[in-house]
Chain A
Amino acid sequence: MAPITTLHYLVVAAALFILGVIGVLTRRNVVIILMSIELILNAVNLNLVAFSRMWGLHGQVFAIFVITDAAAEAAVGLGILIAFFRNKETVNMDEVDLLKW
Chain B
Amino acid sequence: MQPVATTFFFYFLSGITVLSGILVITRNNAVHSALALILGLLAQAGLYLMLYAPFVAGVQIILYAGGIMVLFLFVIMLVNLERAQKEEQFNKQWLVGLLAAVALGGLLFAVYVKGGTLFTEHIAQPVENSNTQQIGVMLYGNYMFAFEIASLLLLVAIIGAVVMAKKRI
Contact = CB atoms under 8 A, between A and B. Distances in A.
Interface of A: 1-12, 14-29, 31-32, 34-36, 38-39, 42, 45-46, 49-50, 52-58, 60-61, 63-65, 67-76, 78-83, 85-86, 90-94
B41 A29 contact: no
B10 A31 contact: no
A34 B72 contact: yes
A interface majority secondary structure: helix
Given A12-B17, A39-B37, A75-B161, 15 more contacts: A7-B119, A10-B119, A23-B24, A25-B93, A25-B98, A26-B93, A27-B25, A32-B30, A34-B72, A38-B64, A49-B48, A55-B124, A81-B79, A82-B75, A91-B81
Contact of B63 (A20, A49, A65, A67): A67
B101 A22 contact: yes
Interface of B: 6-7, 10, 14, 17-18, 21-22, 24-25, 27, 30, 33-34, 37, 40-41, 44, 47-48, 50-53, 55-56, 59-60, 63-64, 67-68, 71-72, 75-76, 78-79, 81, 83-84, 87-94, 96-98, 100-102, 104-105, 108-109, 112, 116, 119-120, 122-124, 126, 131, 134-135, 138-139, 142-143, 146, 150, 153-154, 156-158, 160-165, 167
